[in-house]
Structure 1
Amino acid sequence: MNQLIACEAKLTVREPVGLAFSLVLPLVIILAFGLSASASEPDEELGGVIALDTLLPSIGLALSFGMVAIFMLPGFMTDYRARGILRRLSTTPVHPAKLLAAQVIVQGAIALISVPLVLGLAVALGMSFPEQPLMVVVVVLLGGAALFAVGTLVSAVAPDAKIGYVYSAMFFFPSLFFAGVWLPKEQMPDWLSTIGDFTPLGAFRESLENAFTGTSQDPLMLLTLAVTAVAAGTVAARVFRWE
């Protein structure tokens, strides 16, 4: 298993575009907006919160985890299916399930690497240290589980990489809107903001923001992440095909 993980890690590193979008793009966004003086001051349009303490780091982590889980993981697995690699592995001691597990481990490690990078840059720009660091860990793990379960579901139903990217985009880009990336949730109508709270990416970002500021967590948003992880993971396990 260790050799398989090492092999998948090498293949992943050879895809610099995916790594750049997943790890570098969120940092660029934080740097671009975080250098503004207004990012360190209470913003009335954001409900009086400081963007550098709340919105920017939570958006950075949501982007990183979302792109890795919903684009990179399905991209590799659907490509393997289309090329017949999974079918051939099913006749060897290296069962395809081990390949899926190795991919989840590798991509999950990449997503976790984004946490110190994003928070480190934000703190360097003036972000206050998270009020609830342990809750940040809990939300990262729970939200990561939910998003990777969705990515596994895309991997299960897409016959090849091209269609997989279409499915990923259909889920990811609307999720960015509901999570408040395109338009701050404070500027949305209440009913639209509420919908966003119960989408996986929206619940992930909002729960992170609450942990950063020490605000009480909304149990329903945490439940949304847990239910998504279990439901999407269960469906993916039932419909996943190796060829």
Structure 2
Amino acid sequence: MIQIILTEARLYLRDHMTLFFVFALPLGMLLIFGLPEEVRKPLPELGGQTPLDSLLPSGMTAIAFAIVAAFALPGALSAYRQQGVLRRLRTTPVGPARLLLAQLVVNLVAALASLVLMIAVGAAVLGIPLPRHLPGLLAACVLGLAALFAIGLLISAVASGPTSAGMLGALVVFPSMFFAGIWLQKHDMPDLLRRASDFTPLSAFRESLQDAWTGTAPDPLHLLTLAVTAALCGFAAARLFRWE
């Protein structure tokens, strides 16, 4: 099993496009949007916090995790299915389930490495404080990754190949980024949209991260949204997943 994980990790590191979107893009956006002086001013709608201390780190982390779950994971698995790799593995002692597990492990490590990189660089270069509520950060990451990876597995289950997986990932991620307050901050949304965003997984994940970063426990509603999403999408993915 370890050899399969190492092999998948080497293949992952050779995919420069995926590495760019998982590591360079969120980190670059964090640095670019973190440089203007305006993001260092406390805002009443953020409870006196600055965007640099709350919105930016949580938003960029959410983007990085969403890219891993909705693009990198489905792209690899749908490519293996299209190329017949999963079908051929069913006739060997290795089995396709181990390849699926290896992909989950590699993408999980990539997501966590992106988070650690942004925390370290953000603190060193921009002076972004470290997350202040570590149990909340742990709960947000565990449930957030479970929810987003379940969505990624569901995309993998229904996509016919890497192209359709990418299209489905885009259809999921870009509207989700709107509800998460990436394009328009949530306090500027109409009440109906703002309330609806609490029940979307990427928004619930970003809000939970923001709470943990600023020192408060995540909202139970957001954690429940993530848990329900993980359960429903995981169940659907298991029922619909095809090895060939």
Classify the TM-score, shorter chain.
over 0.9
Residue 200 of structure 1: how far off its partner (Å): 0.8
1:205 maps to 2:206? yes
The superposition leaves residues 196-230 of structure 1 with CA deviations (integer Å, 9 ceiling, x where unpaired) of 12111000000110111123422111001011111
Q: Which residue is 2:234 aligned to?
A: 233
Q: Which residue is 2:118 aligned to?
A: 118
Question: Are the equivalent residues in 2 in contact too, given 1:46–1:184 (CA < 8 A)?
Answer: no
Residue 97 of structure 1: how far off its partner (Å): 0.9
Q: Which residue is 2:189 aligned to?
A: 188
Question: Are the equivalent residues in 2 in contact too, given 1:47–1:186 (CA < 8 A)?
Answer: no
Q: Which residue is 1:159 aligned to?
A: 160
Q: Which residue is 1:139 aligned to?
A: 140
Residue 190 of structure 1: how far off its partner (Å): 1.6
Residue 234 of structure 1: how far off its partner (Å): 1.2
Residue 134 of structure 1: how far off its partner (Å): 2.2
Residue 38 of structure 1: how far off its partner (Å): 1.6
Residue type matched to 2:169 in 1? S
The superposition leaves residues 95-116 of structure 1 with CA deviations (integer Å, 9 ceiling, x where unpaired) of 1111111000001100000111
Give the structure-1-normalised TM-score: 0.96
Question: Are the equivalent residues in 1 in contact too, given 2:140–2:218 (CA < 8 A)?
Answer: no
Residue 89 of structure 1: how far off its partner (Å): 0.7
Residue type matched to 1:168 in 2? G
Residue type matched to 1:196 in 2? S
Structure 2 distance, partners of 1:169, 1:9, is: 24
The superposition leaves residues 174-208 of structure 1 with CA deviations (integer Å, 9 ceiling, x where unpaired) of 00000000111111112111111211100000011
Structure 2 distance, partners of 1:67, 1:217, is: 23
Structure 2 distance, partners of 1:6, 1:31, is: 31
Q: Which residue is 1:35 aligned to?
A: 35
Structure 1 distance, partners of 2:130, 2:139, is: 16
Q: Which runs of 4+ in 1 moved over 6 A?
A: none
**Which consecutive residues of structure 2, in runs of 5 or more, have no partner in the other structure?**
none
1:104 maps to 2:104? yes
Structure 1 distance, partners of 2:140, 2:46, is: 22
Residue type matched to 1:132 in 2? H
What fraction of aligned residue pairs are identical, expressed as a percent? 51
Structure 2 distance, partners of 1:178, 1:121, is: 27
Residue type matched to 2:106 in 1? V
Question: Are the equivalent residues in 1 in contact too, given 2:207–2:218 (CA < 8 A)?
Answer: no
Q: Which residue is 1:6 aligned to?
A: 6
Residue 121 of structure 1: how far off its partner (Å): 2.1
Structure 1 distance, partners of 2:176, 2:69, is: 13
Residue type matched to 1:197 in 2? D
Q: Which residue is 1:16 aligned to?
A: 16
Give the structure-2-normalised TM-score: 0.96
